[in-house]
Structure 1
Amino acid sequence: MATPRLEPRLEAVPEASDLWAQLRRAAEQASRDEPDLASQMNAVILSHGNLGAALSFQIARKLGDAELGAMTVREVCLAAFEVDPGIVAAAEADLQAVEERDPAIRSLLQPFLYFKGFQALQGWRVAHWLWLEGRETLALHFQSRISELFQVDIHPGAQVGSGLFLDHGTGIVIGETAVVGDEVSMLHAVTLGGTGAGRGDRHPKIGKGVLLGAGAKVLGNIVVGDYAKVASGSVVLKPVPAGCTVAGVPARLVNCPTDATPARTMDHTLADIVYDFVI
């Protein structure tokens, strides 16, 4: 089915979002501080009426290529946002998550323009919409481009919540039947994968507010409970109780309960006592 050519109605209606206002102010300041970037700030942010319009432009200028031009990518994004406004709402929650959890950022301009994790996630959200619409080939094209550009490989069939923070992004892999809850934080090289060649429901289910440290591998159709913490470099092969911390290869329980909101605090430290059993 051909992509409908929509008039960019998202351009016409200003948006009152505080985050959008913050993003515009940051772009205006950047234009003054770095005149060489003024045209970029205008094209990507300042010429648009709301976050959805700017986001569609940003995704298109990143994912467009010789096979699928930027204009076509933008039309796909606009169609997705028109049918499902929740995509833009999720992007706003993701942007808020970066602002709250990443001490390195100076303004919202950085994640919106430059952070691979945020950009890959927003491209994936459009790919997921395509997947649900039955347009699997185009969805997989988006996945391939996102993987090539950002080194973040999320299958369009996965289910991913909002308010996510993909810190650095490089090397993150999320399989087709994985489920990731709201407010999750994960660092680079996290894998949510299977344990073999079997088909069906074969990937992890990650609860709300979970923190997945750098290089953590969660494998198989297992549940990591809400507000759990998986330490960097761990290999998790069995379910993790809600509110618990696990670490090691294979992962062992370290502490229960853990920090109440690990994905928000981004606290990667571990308790001194390690229980002597494998989960």
Structure 2
Amino acid sequence: MQAHTNAAKETPHTASPQRVWQHLCQEGEQVIQDEPLLASFVHAFVLKHDNLPSSLSFMAANKLSDGVLPMITLYELFLDAYEQAPAIADAAAYDITAVYERDPAINQTLTILLYLKGYHAIQIHRVANTLWQQNRKNLALYIQSRSSAVFGVDIHPAARIGQGVMFDHATGIVIGETAVIGDDVSILQGVTLGGTGKDCGDRHPKVRSGVLIGCGAQILGNIEIGANAKVGAGSVVLQDVPANATVVGVPAIKVGQNKTQHPSQDMNQNVLEGVDLSQFIHFGHGI
């Protein structure tokens, strides 16, 4: 994972936690050489640790600690979660690679680990979700509450999130209790995966693999966003979206089929590019 070039990059599913960790440590050593003022910071968050779960646990404890749960308690809690559910460490490595591949502003993996709150919020959610599944629901809700306050990203601990997921910028993302997000999904800031009222039970969206959701989109109700679909910025989605479709508007309607196979990886948020408009009928939304 060198600086961005025109060469093909690894896909999220080829990067193990061990390989990602090696890159992070190499980049950490380089940062210290380039900017000695950050030496203690990089050492504390990366170089003093033996692996990615330890580093992530330290990050979470540093960000979330308060007068109720001190840093050492949270650090041990998160380490224990990674030991009990090693799959969340695998997902964390895939997420780093996904962000590196998709975000043109990122030229090293270390930036993701140290600075990107969308990445942080997802990894903390994975631990909260592990606690929720262990029926430690009050503790999971506490972790969620602290994460929401710190990052401005509100993910119910029961929500299910796949791997290779990117929250770009992330501010204002809200994900409800019964929401499901598949693998290789990209979501921008201000997106809501919410309900439509006071109904109980399964009431939140199911976002399948490969989906791209533009900034400010509101997806409401127990509906399905099909694999490799694209939701335009600012859209309000109230019904199912077919696989490979692009939808836009208030309320959102289908405007065409995606020509690209992987919208979440291409990150092209112009709904008129990469869309086959041969069957398009004017829909009156002023695009």
Where 1:254 maps in the other structure, the secondary structure is strand
1:194-226: CA deviations, max 9, x gaps?
Answer: 000111100000000100000011000000000
Code of the residue aligned with 2:185 in structure 1: it is V
**Scaled by the length of structure 2, what TM-score is found?**
0.89
Which shifted more, 180-189 or 19-28? 19-28
Match of 1:120 in 2: 121
CA distance in structure 2 between the partners assigned to 1:257 and 1:266 by the alignment:
12
Deviations 1:29-79 (CA, angstroms, capped at 9, x unpaired): 111111111011111100111111111111111111111111111111111
Which residue does the alignment assign to 2:172? 171
Distance 2:27 2:259 in 1: 36
Look up the match of 1:54: 55
Could you tell me which amino acid in structure 1 is paired with residue 37 of structure 2?
A: D
Q: Identify which range, 52-61 or 16-25, moves more after superposition.
A: 16-25
1:1-279 maps to which residues of 2 (within 5 A)?
A: 17-271=18-272, 273=277, 274-276=280-282
The Cα offsets for residues 106-140 of structure 1, whole Å up to 9 and x where unpaired, read as 21111101111000111111000000000111101
Find the aligned partners of 2:17 and 2:187 in 1 and give their Cα distance. 30
1:12 maps to: none
Name the CA distance, whole Å, in 2 between partners of 1:205 and 1:277: 26
The count of aligned residue pairs is 264
Aligned equivalents of 2:281, 2:220: Cα separation in 1: 22
1:16 offset after TM fit, Å?
Answer: 7.5
Whole-angstrom CA distance in 2 between matches of 1:175 and 1:258: 31
Letter in 1 for 2:25: R
Q: Secondary structure of the equivalent of 2:219? A: strand
Contact 1:171–1:188 (Cα < 8 Å) also in 2? yes
Q: Distance in 2 between matches of 1:133 and 1:42?
A: 33
**What code does the residue aligned with 2:36 have?**
P
Say if 2:17 and 2:52, in contact at 8 Å, map to a contact too: no
Contact 2:220-2:238 at 8 Å conserved across structures: yes
**d(CA) in 1 for partners of 2:29 and 2:95?**
22
Distance 2:258 2:39 in 1: 49
Say what the alpha-carbon RMSD is for the aligned residues. Answer: 1.5
Q: Give the superposition deviation at 1:18.
A: 2.2
Distance 1:255 1:238 in 2: 16
Label 1:146 to 1:275 Cα distance change in 2 as closer, same or farther (>3 A): farther
Q: Distance in 1 between matches of 2:18 and 2:220?
A: 38
Whether the aligned pair in 2 keeps the contact of 1:244 and 1:258 (CA below 8 Å) is no
Code of the aligned partner of 2:256: N
SS of the aligned residue for 1:17 comes to helix
Letter in 2 for 1:191: T
4+ residue segments displaced more than 4 Å: none
Structure 2: gaps of 5 or more residues:
1-15
Taking the aligned partners of 1:66 and 1:37, their CA distance within structure 2 comes to: 27
Alpha-carbon separation, structure 2, partners of 1:174 and 1:200: 15
Q: Helix, strand or coil for the counterpart of 2:75?
A: helix
Q: Is the 8 A contact 1:229 1:258 kept in 2?
A: no
